[in-house]
Structure 1
Amino acid sequence: MAADVADRIAARGAALGLGPGAPVTALVSGGADSTLLLLGLVELGCAVRALHVAHALRGDASTADADACRALAARLDVPLAVVDGAVAPGGNLEARLRDRRRAAALEHAGADPIATGHTLSDRAETVLYRLAASGSPRGLAALPPRDGRWLRPLIDCSRDEVRRELARRGVPWRDDATNAEPGPARNRIRLDVLPALALAHPGAERNLARAALLADDERALLDELADGLIDPDGSLPIGPLLAAPPALARLALRRAAARRGLTLGHDDVEALRTSPRRRTLPGAGMADVDPHRLRFLPPGAGRGEGAA
């Protein structure tokens, strides 16, 4: 690899614990990003296995994707599993396909970490989409290098850098024609928004990705501080909640609710933060409040239940 790209992948791989003999399962699609991912893991000396989830949505093109994965794995002497990734017709296809890939990876990988080919460009796109869709600053903390078992060794390399590196080495890859369709929101960001931002500032993509990295570090700190407002039984003492800075109180409420499988809307958070009282929540959950503490109850729990 070119020294700069190789150095970044090696440095990120070391930070993720990817080195000689390290077991890892790599998700591969035949595209440029996952092709360089598999090459990089092999060159790091990992004990890598590859997985291709075949969604079979594009007819002969999907078959060619699987064949490309087989050819690359054979060239690198990497064991490859190709599994059925078909999903039923219906809405939000992109999300359901992503869920199917994740489920297949978790089933196939056993206890191994799972590496994906997400790049710096994917991170920048995700930041823009989340900010537009949610309006929450936590949307900045997108695609961290490590997310539990999920690892992203290419997260410091842009999509263009990945393609240039493969072209330099003469390594072929597959292009998914659906990525150029203007319909999906992520495609519009990739095809229209980011190029426009690059005209305004040539470092836009990298700066967005850097903001995500910094935001992820800050999110971890804020999560730790917010958890300090939550008692071991999942309840929040009223006094400290009211005394906390608004941003910290909001986060503590959301995290305490999430432990009960509940998602709070903006109005719920503000009402409970400023004047805690019993409140019915979306999804039939409940905020149960006594003079000293607030507890979130999942659907079907009676008053005073769910604190264990």
Structure 2
Amino acid sequence: MLQAFKQHIEQRRLLLKDDNVIIATSGGPDSMVLTDLLLQLGMEVDLAHVNFGLRGQDSDDDEAFVDNYAQSNNIPVHIRRIDAKSLAKERGMGIQEAARKARYDWFEELRAEIEADVIVTAHHADDATESYLWHIMRGSSLGGFDAIPEASGNVVRPLLRFTKEEILAYAESRKIPFRTDASNADRKYARNQIRHDLIPLMRRIRPGFERNVQRQVSMFDEVNFIIDQFVSQLAPGMMILTEEGIELNVEDLAELPFQRLMLGHIGNDYGFPARRVDEMINLLYSKPGKAIYSQSHRIIRERETLVISTIPSGKGDQSATIEIDTEEIHSPVHIQIEKGAKSDFPILGIDWQATLDADKINFPITVRPWNEGDRMRPLGLEGTQLLSDIFTQAKWSQAQKENAWVFESAGEIIWLAGLRIADSVKISDKTEQVIQFSLSDKF
């Protein structure tokens, strides 16, 4: 294996003879074999180990093993302890995701600190196969089938063409010590079932099938590149960037003969995997207002578009009070207030500005989000009207409605910001003093 490894990294130019290398070392067979291979080639290496404390004493024993191995072989070693559970809670992420990010962040910090050239990890061919099968089961979009790259940034994965079987055989032949993670054998985890049950079964059915997987994954990389280029060409006519997010023209999408490919590719960037493509297609034929959600985003059907935007946090009970002498408020929305003679305030008809008869207003004024059932008497009408009907008439999107503010005086809505003022506070020939409200950040 040593000769094959040497030939592989030279042909692929993954590592150079004089590179200073940091090896991400868990103490398992993969990273210990990688360490031995690089030492056999005479490379200058440092070991880096992260103890996440997820397996109690076993985690501490892994740390001690790596430390002892490094000391016994006069190899510089760097060890970092990270509380993965606390980190995941703090960042609102899954434990494995938080641990992986923290691990790579630290490796890069360490690389810069000791002026190493590259970080090498021990990902191998079985990891790539396992990932491929896992994405099939999860119904991932084509983007989910990207190959694990042999090199990305400062990270190199020189064992990707070698199988676990080859790695273990080399470890046995060289009598390389390593630790075994008992959790890797626990079949309650789906990935372990793939590793220990499915992959061996597929090998018996089709020996060497992993090579076919690698070729397919490489093709997926190229297909995704083509799709990216194709989507970027369609984007100017089909996708529009707005304040609310990204708008997709419903009529154009409905006529596409490759709706699944298009929506699956776009949705994947916003947390909607390929298995949810049917939901996205159904939105094309739904009534306005219907929405589907991922953990971070939503897709909502408007009259003529699908709008992809972050899930609104909700304004809840946010409100502000404007007293008679208030000149400006900054939260929950920025409002500037000016008062003076009518002649000093020409009515400009700006949506986010309202000029009202000051003598007809009772203070304090409450600024708050609108609520279902709110009514007002818009300028020029005899009776009241539901705000929801006003939004409909104005063809406001769901996102615009969610960010609407009302100004309320003595229980009466005197301004629906951006749309209507109340008839009761309009400026007339008898008006002497006015008050002007200006919103500088609508949303």
Normalised to the residue count of structure 1, the TM-score between the two structures is 0.76
Match of 1:228, SS?
Answer: helix
Mapping of residues 292-307 of structure 1, within 5 Å = 295-300=307-312, 302-303=399-400
1:82 is aligned to: 79
- Equivalent in 216, 219, 227 of residue 224 of structure 2: 219
Q: 2:262 maps to what in 1?
A: 249
Larger Rg: 2
Question: Structure 1: where are the runs of 5+ without partners?
Answer: none
CA distance in 1 between partners of 2:231 and 2:214 (Å):
25
Number of equivalent positions: 293
CA distance in 2 between partners of 1:46 and 1:276 (Å): 64
1:73 and 1:11 mapped to 2: Cα distance?
29
2:292 to 281, 284, 300: 281
- Residues 141 and 264 in structure 2, CA contact (< 8 A), matched pair in contact too: no
Which one of 162, 167, 187 corresponds to residue 162 of structure 1? 167
Residue 138 of structure 2 is aligned to residue 106 of structure 1:
no
Task: Name the SS of the counterpart of 1:155 in structure 2.
Answer: coil
| Cross-structure match for 2:272 | 263
CA distance in 2 between counterparts of 1:29 and 1:137 reads: 31
Q: What do residues 229-269 of structure 1 show as CA deviations (whole Å, max 9, x unaligned)?
A: 334964466376544733542245325xx3xx553632343
CA contact (8 A) 2:259 2:281 kept: no
The question of whether the paired residues in 1 share the 8 Å contact of 2:142 and 2:265 is answered with no
Alignment of structure 1 residues 1-308 onto 2, 5 Å: 1-12=1-12, 14=13, 16=14, 18-22=15-19, 25-41=22-38, 48-74=45-71, 78-88=75-85, 96-110=95-109, 114-134=119-139, 136-147=141-152, 150-231=155-236, 234=241, 235=246, 238=249, 241=253, 242-243=255-256, 245-254=258-267, 258=269, 261=270, 263=272, 265-271=276-282, 279-282=290-293, 285-287=298-300, 295-300=307-312, 302-303=399-400
| 1:246-297 deviation digits (Å, cap 9, x = unpaired) | 3542245325xx3xx5536323432456789665231563447575x75422
Deviation (angstroms), 1:34: 1.2
User: What's the offset of the Cα at 1:170?
Assistant: 3.1
- Structure with greater strand share of residues: 2
Name structure 2 gaps, 5 residues minimum: 89-93, 314-398, 404-443
Residue 298 to residue 66, structure 1, CA distance change in 2 (3 Å): same
Cα offset, 1:64, TM superposition: 3.2
Alpha-carbon RMSD across the aligned residues, in angstroms, is 3.7
Q: What code does the residue aligned with 2:272 have?
A: T
- Of 192-201 and 60-69, the range deviating more from structure 2: 60-69
TM-score, L = length of structure 2: 0.55
Structure 1 position 169, deviation (Å): 2.8
* Bigger helix share: 1
Aligned equivalents of 2:118, 2:240: Cα separation in 1:
31
Alpha-carbon distance change, 30 to 44 in structure 1, aligned in 2, over 3 angstroms:
same
Which runs of at least 4 in structure 1 moved beyond 6 Å after TM superposition?
Answer: 43-47, 273-278
Report the Cα distance in structure 1 between the residues aligned to 2:282 and 2:205, rounded to whole angstroms. 40
Equivalent-residue separation in structure 2 for 1:29 and 1:8 (angstroms): 23
